[in-house]
Amino acid sequence: MSAPAISWRRSRPWALPVVGLAVGLAFLWPYLVMLLDAFRPSEDVVQTPPSLLPRVWKWSTFGEVLGDERFLAWLKTSLLVSVASTAIVVLVAVPAAYATARFRFPGRMAFLFVVLVTQMFSPTSLVVGIYREFFSLNLVNTYLALILTNAAFNLAFAIWILHGFFSSIPVELEEAAELDGCGRFATLRRVMLPLTLPGLVTATVFTFIAAWNEYVVALTLMLDDTKKPLTVGINSYVTGYEQNWDQLFGASIIAIVPVVILFAVIERHLVGGLTAGSVK
C-alpha cells in the first residue's frame, strides 16, 4: 500500500467527521439566521452593520403570527391545497406509472415524453393561459383551481419517479404472486405498492412540498386575501407600507412545521433491502 493511502487511512477517522460537520454547519446556519431574525424587532433585522445575535430580543413574534387571523387563513389554504393535490397526484400517477413500467401499449414512450414536456414550460409563461382557462370555467379564486393546477404541475415528476421504481422490481415477484392466485389488482396492492414504498414516499413528499411552495399560480388565481396560500400571504408582512421582517421569518419557520411532521410520519418507510433475496 502506498504512503498517501496509509496516511489517508490514519487521518480518515477524524477528517471525514470534520468535513461533514463543516458542510452540516454551512447547511444549518441559514436556519439559525432565520430563527434569530424572528427573535428581534424588524428594525434590527435591516439595521447596518448586521449582528448575528439580536441587539434587542423580542419574544412575541411567534405569538403575534399565530394570533393573526390572516395567517391562520393562509395556513388553512396551504394545507388544504397541498393535501388535496398530493392525494390526486398519487391516485393518478400510480396507475400511469405502473402501466408504463409493465404493459406494452402503443404510444407508451410518447406518453412519457408528453408528460415530461409539461415540465419544460416555465410556469410564468403558462400562468396567463391558465388564468384565462379558469376564468372561462368560472373557477378563478377557488381552491379547486389551485388544487388542480398544483396536481397537474407535479404529475410528471411523480410518474417518472414511480415508473423508475416499478420497473426496478423483478417481474418474477409479480409472476409468483399471480401463480399464488393474486389478480392484477391484488398484485399491485399487495406486492408492488409495498415494495415501491420508498418511491411512493418520495413522490408524496415532493408533491406536497412543491404544492406547499407554489407561488406564481397562486398569486394569479387567488384574489381574496383569506384564500391565499402561505407563500403568497406572508409577503404582505413586508410591503412598501409596513416592514415586519421578524413576522415574515417567524411565519416562514411555522410554515416548515407541517412539512417536517409529514416527513417524520412517513420517513420510516424509506427503508431498504425489501427485495433482498426475493428472487433466487
Partner 1 sequence: MSAVAQQAPKKAPTPKARKSLNAGQARNGLLLVLPTLLFLSVIILYPLINAVVISFEKDAGLDKATGMFVQGGGAGISNYTHWLLQQCGTESCPPGTLGAQFYSAFWVTIFFTVVSVAIETVLGIWFAMIMNRDFKGRALVRAAILVPWAIPTAVTAKLFYFIFAYDGIANHLLGNIGLGPFLWTSDPWAAKFAIIIADVWKTTPFMALLILAGLQLIPSDVYEAAEIDGATKWQTFTKITLPLVKVPLMVAVLFRTLDVLRIYDLPAILTNGVGGTTSLSMLVVSQIRAGGFNSASALSTLVFLLIAFTAFLFIQFGGADVIKRPPGAKKKKDAAPPTAPAATAVAAQSGVTP
Angle at 117 between CA 116 and CA 120, to 5 degrees: 100
| Smallest separation, CB 181 to partner 1 (Å) | 18
Among 11, 60, 118, 226, binds partner 1 (CB under 8 A): 118
Among 63, 129, 183, 194, binds partner 1 (CB under 8 A): 129
Q: Is 151 in the site for partner 1 (CB under 8 A)?
A: yes
Phi, psi for residue 222 in degrees, rounded to 5: -95, 110
How many residues sit close enough to partner 1 to count as binding (CB under 8 A)? 112
Nearest Cα neighbor of 111 from 127, 100, 123 is 100
Among 40, 191, 199, 227, binds partner 1 (CB under 8 A): 199
Q: Is 84 in the site for partner 1 (CB under 8 A)?
A: no
CB-based contact 34:50 (threshold 8 Å): no
Nearest Cα neighbor of 152 from 171, 127, 185 is 127
Q: Is 87 in the site for partner 1 (CB under 8 A)?
A: no
| Smallest separation, CB 97 to partner 1 (Å) | 9
Q: What is the largest CA-CA distance in the chain?
A: 74
| Smallest separation, CB 160 to partner 1 (Å) | 5
| Smallest separation, CB 216 to partner 1 (Å) | 8
At 202, list the grid cell: 418520495
Among 69, 103, 239, 241, binds partner 1 (CB under 8 A): 103
Using a 10 angstrom Cβ sphere, with 0-12 exposed, 13-18 middle and 19 or more buried, the burial of residue 124 is exposed
Among 55, 132, 189, 190, binds partner 1 (CB under 8 A): 132
Q: Is 240 in the site for partner 1 (CB under 8 A)?
A: no
Among 63, 113, 135, 189, binds partner 1 (CB under 8 A): 113
Among 3, 13, 14, 30, binds partner 1 (CB under 8 A): 30
Question: Rounded to an integer, what distance in angstroms lies between the CA atom of residue 119 and that of residue 158?
Answer: 12
Question: Rounded to an integer, what distance in angstroms lies between the CA atom of residue 96 and that of residue 119?
Answer: 17
**Which DSSP state fits 141?**
T
